[in-house]
Amino acid sequence: MWKGNTVSADLAQADATARRPGRPRSEAAEHAIIEATLELFAEGGVEGVCVEAVAAKAGVGKATIYRRWPGKEELLIHAIGSLKTALPEPKGASVRDDLIAIVELLVSDAADPRYMRQFTMWMSEGQKYPRLMSMFKESVVEPNRRVIRGVLRRGVETGELRPDIDVDLSMFCLTGTVMARGKHGEDAFPAGFAEQLVDQVLSGLAPR
């Protein structure tokens, strides 16, 4: 893994290349920027992150950052969002299978100590920055929620789930349980946890 405070000749060359018109952006530079942002956030919270400090820590010019993100807020949201797995479109075989696949991805995030530390700190910091948190929810959280809602609504349409279920409440039963268990470390997720959780929730949603 790249470390944000590591400056190498290769990264300097990648940054110089990225500045040339018409050339593809450097993935190495972008990765270094994200790592630097996350490190600065872990050290000093939202106030600890500024474009100048990120540029210095990542070993790139400020212009390299501004070509990718309009400002500090978008950069910080992208960095925190990079720790979270984007849910793919479900295969559509069955509601149960799709939900299990989704929960397994949620568990993989929640079982990652770095993700949980950063995410817990982000949620705490977010209370002081409502606009920033709103932007994060819209660009990072809501896309995943839409995927889960889509699976549940499809289940209602196919008759796998009752027509009177509360879609949002059902979704939070899944996501909230995973996040709550994640606070207790990797041991909180025994083998078969995803299947057990989905089956428990579906037992209350299935047609009677």
What digits encode the pLDDT tens for the residues 68-109? Answer: 999 999 999 999 999 998 898 898 889 999 999 999 999 999
Q: What tens digit of pLDDT does each residue of 15-28 get?
A: 443 344 433 458 89
B/e letters for 21-49, b = 16+ CB within 10 Å, e = fewer, are eeeeebebbbbbbbbbbbbbbeeeebeeb
- Residue-range domain boundaries for the chain: 9-81, 95-205
Q: What is the pTM of this model?
A: 0.80
Tokens for 95?
């509601």
Crossing angle for the helix pair 167-182 and 95-110, to the nearest 10 degrees: 30
CATH level 3 topology of 95-205:
Tetracycline Repressor; domain 2 (1.10.357)
Section 149-155 average pLDDT: 97
Residue 1's pLDDT is 34
Residue 74's pLDDT is 95
Class of domain 9-81: mainly alpha
